[in-house]
Structure 1
Amino acid sequence: MKQERRNGHAFHPIMSKGGVHEKTEKAKRKAAKHDMKRKVSEWLDVKGGTSSTPTPVSFSYSD
């Protein structure tokens, strides 16, 4: 009984570095920051705050 030939490239040692591709740490941090900003914006909208324009601060000095 003859064995079926196998793909010699599929189990080559250099192919062991393959597999599931994950996002980089930088991409994960950026996504977390984006998510946090979105949640803050939603929270401010619910609370009645303004998320798009900051409140201007004016100082007046009297002599």
Structure 2
Amino acid sequence: MVVIEQGKGFPVAVLKKNVPVFYAVPAAAYEALIDKLDDMELAQIVHEREGQPSRVITLDEL
């Protein structure tokens, strides 16, 4: 935990023979990363649907 605390909120690489074997990522940084990935996925969907005709639907149709 000392090494994680020294990371001051940033991810910390854990090395084995000078090769990263995993990263310890603080919860806040991980959540921000997941939010960003979700936003990127939604932006891709919007981009793919640009120019498609729209239509009005009722709640019953959902």
Which protein has the bigger strand share?
A: 2
TM-score tier, shorter chain, comes to: 0.3 to 0.5
| TM-score, normalising length: structure 2 | 0.44
| TM-score, normalising length: structure 1 | 0.44
Structure number, greater radius of gyration: 1
Q: Point out which structure has higher relative CO (alpha carbons under 8 A, 6+ apart).
A: 2
